[in-house]
């Protein structure tokens, strides 16, 4: 069958929006048999005893019934554990990716702009494209701090409906200066979403500032703190905004198993907290060990991953060499721009980090 010119491919080409055809699906590489340090996951599992207790609570799950559509009990627990101010509302998403999509669905209209930084989180650009918004990315400085004047100029020029800033930023790992972010919030004609996906590893937050700005929203996720499999994200902000976003939320987006499991995990948050502390400590070790390699530029991180730059032109080969040694990290070189020659490694267990370092030593030799 001739795929290129078949009636079906012509119909696909005619019917699917051109901007969707131009996209590539979010690529998730096969990691079977690999030391998996590519996706900012927490590498630790639970004790058998905790798993047994968790499975016990799942017995209450009524799979024949729709979940609690408001997820009230879970929201209350998240409010306490994430210190969401009393007068802020909470919206839950099937991962914070779904929250980004809900915000843009509610805002999208011809000519509406989403503004963020480059390099930044790829989903802002991708979701802007498929919701029909225009994406503008303002370059960061060489040290990945915000270019305050360039941001303010872009805000004046594009009048963005929403600005997304990841704090700490992905894929660079740094926290922007609070004063720069405050200047952006003050200048923004629309919403500003501070995406605190890596909050557990950074400590700093804009959550307590929600009352100070009507246009500020704070987003969190349980993914990077050890519950990536649950798919649960949270948006906190003024109820007037969140009531509108709630209208584009599909009913029952947080399933029964996620609600019960997240409630259980939050009751045992000390386990996750201890894992987070271990990861933060191991991040320091990994950072220092990476700095010992000749020819690498290693960027300081407030997240659970480290970005590093390899000698020019060698990123693809180093990435492939690590893969051959059964270590999977993230190759950012193909993203181009300031990420040329850059790789990103997630902090794993100490023995995984050691395996990565020794594979890197071998590949760089
Ligand atoms: C991982 C990540 C997310 C997505 O988190 P999910 O809740 O798993 O969808 C959002 N923002 C940033 C900056 C991330 O790195």
Three-state secondary structure along 228-243? HHHCCEEEEECHHHHH
Q: Is the overall model pTM greater than 0.85, yes or no? A: yes
Determine the atom of ligand 1 nearest the C-alpha atom of 232: 7
Ordered alpha helix ranges (H), the chain: 7-15, 18-21, 48-58, 72-81, 96-107, 122-131, 148-158, 178-187, 199-202, 239-245, 256-267, 269-291, 315-324, 350-364
Quick: pLDDT tens for 269-318: 999 999 999 999 999 999 999 999 999 999 999 999 999 999 999 999 99
Residue 147 CB coordination number (10 Å): 15
From the CA of 254, how far away is ligand 1's center (Å)? 16
Range(s) within the chain of domains with CATH label 3.40.640.10: 63-268
From the CA of 7, how far away is ligand 1's center (Å)? 39
Predicted confidence at residue 26, as pLDDT, reads 79
Determine the atom of ligand 1 nearest the C-alpha atom of 93: 7
How far is the CA of 108 from the CAs of 103, 125, 129, 185, in angstroms? Answer: 9, 13, 10, 20
The continuous run of DSSP H or E covering 35 comes out as: strand 35-36
Predicted confidence at residue 5, as pLDDT, reads 78
Predicted confidence at residue 48, as pLDDT, reads 97
pLDDT above 80 for 327: yes
* Ligand 1 pocket, mutate which of 42, 176, 223 (most atoms under 8 A from CB): 223
From the CA of 129, how far away is ligand 1's center (Å)? 18
* Mean pLDDT value across the chain: 96
DSSP per-residue string spanning 115-148: EEEES--HHHHHHHHHHT-EEEEEEPPTTS---H
Ligand 1 atom 12 nearest Cα: 197
Predicted confidence at residue 2, as pLDDT, reads 53
From the CA of 5, how far away is ligand 1's center (Å)? 39
Determine the atom of ligand 1 nearest the C-alpha atom of 233: 7
From the CA of 356, how far away is ligand 1's center (Å)? 24
Predicted confidence at residue 203, as pLDDT, reads 84
Q: How far apart are CA 116 and CA 136, in angstroms?
A: 6
| Rounded average pLDDT over 63-81 | 97
Contacts of 15 (CB under 8 A, 6+ apart): none
From the CA of 164, how far away is ligand 1's center (Å)? 12
Contacts of 145 (CB under 8 A, 6+ apart): 174, 176, 177, 180
Predicted confidence at residue 3, as pLDDT, reads 58
Contact (CB, 8 A) for 230 and 58: no
298 half-sphere exposure, CB direction, 13 A CA radius: 19
Ligand 1 atom 1 nearest Cα: 197
**Domain 7-47+270-364, CATH 3.90.550.10 — does that match?**
no
Range(s) within the chain of domains with CATH label 3.90.1150.10: 7-47+270-364
Residue of higher predicted confidence among 2 and 292: 292
Residue with the two structure tokens 């600005």 = 163
Quick: pLDDT tens for 9-46: 999 999 999 989 988 887 888 899 999 999 999 999 99
**Domain 63-268, CATH 3.40.640.10 — does that match?**
yes
Determine the atom of ligand 1 nearest the C-alpha atom of 303: 15
From the CA of 8, how far away is ligand 1's center (Å)? 36
Residue with the two structure tokens 């995984």 = 352
Cis upstream peptide for 104 (omega within 30°): no
* Ligand 1 pocket, mutate which of 144, 170, 172 (most atoms under 8 A from CB): 170
From the CA of 197, how far away is ligand 1's center (Å)? 6
* Ligand 1 pocket, mutate which of 41, 42, 97 (most atoms under 8 A from CB): 97
Q: How far apart are CA 193 and CA 166, in angstroms?
A: 8
Determine the atom of ligand 1 nearest the C-alpha atom of 40: 1
Residue with the two structure tokens 């590539």 = 24
**Burial bucket for residue 346 (CB in 10 Å: 0-12, 13-18, 19+):** buried
Quick: pLDDT tens for 176-217: 999 999 999 999 999 999 999 999 999 899 999 999 999 999
> Minimal CA–CA distance to 70: which of 203, 218, 192, 249?
249
Give residues (CB < 6 A) around ligand 1. 40, 95-97, 121, 166, 170, 195, 197, 221, 223, 233
Main-chain phi, psi angles of 161, to 5 degrees: -70, -35
């Amino acid at each position: 069958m001739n795929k290129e010119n078949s009636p079906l491919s012509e119909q696909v080409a005619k019917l699917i929006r051109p901007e969707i055809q131009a996209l590539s699906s979010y690529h998730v590489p096969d990691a079977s048999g690999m030391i998996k340090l590519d996706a900012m996951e927490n590498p630790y599992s639970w004790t058998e005893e905790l798993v047994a207790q968790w499975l016990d609570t799942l017995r209450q799950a009524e799979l024949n019934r729709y979940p609690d559509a408001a997820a009230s009990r879970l929201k209350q627990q998240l409010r306490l554990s994430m210190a969401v101010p009393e007068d802020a509302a909470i919206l839950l998403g099937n991962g914070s990716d779904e929250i980004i999509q809900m915000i843009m669905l509610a805002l999208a209209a011809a000519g509406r702009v989403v503004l963020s930084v480059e390099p930044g989180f790829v989903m802002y650009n991708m979701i802007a494209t498929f919701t029909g918004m225009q994406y503008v990315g303002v370059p960061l400085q060489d040290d990945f701090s915000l270019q305050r004047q360039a941001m303010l100029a872009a805000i004046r020029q594009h009048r963005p409906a929403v600005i997304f800033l990841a704090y700490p930023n992905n894929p660079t790992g740094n926290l922007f200066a609070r004063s720069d972010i405050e200047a952006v919030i003050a200048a923004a004609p629309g919403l500003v979403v501070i995406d605190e996906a890596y909050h557990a590893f950074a400590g700093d937050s804009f959550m307590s500032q929600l009352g100070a700005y009507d246009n500020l929203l704070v987003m969190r996720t349980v993914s990077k703190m050890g519950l990536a499999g649950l798919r649960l994200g949270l948006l906190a902000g003024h109820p007037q905004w969140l009531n509108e976003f709630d209208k584009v939320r599909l009913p029952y987006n947080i399933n029964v198993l996620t609600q019960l499991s997240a409630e259980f995990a939050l009751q045992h948050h000390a386990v996750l907290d201890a894992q987070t502390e271990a990861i933060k400590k191991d991040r320091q070790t990994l950072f220092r060990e990476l700095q010992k390699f000749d020819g690498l530029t290693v960027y300081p991180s407030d997240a659970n991953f480290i970005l590093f730059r390899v000698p020019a032109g060698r990123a693809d080969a180093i990435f492939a060499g690590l893969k051959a040694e059964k270590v999977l990290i993230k190759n950012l070189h193909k993203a181009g721009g300031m990420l040329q020659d850059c790789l990103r490694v997630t902090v794993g267990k100490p023995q995984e980090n050691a395996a990565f370092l020794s594979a890197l030593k071998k590949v760089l030799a």
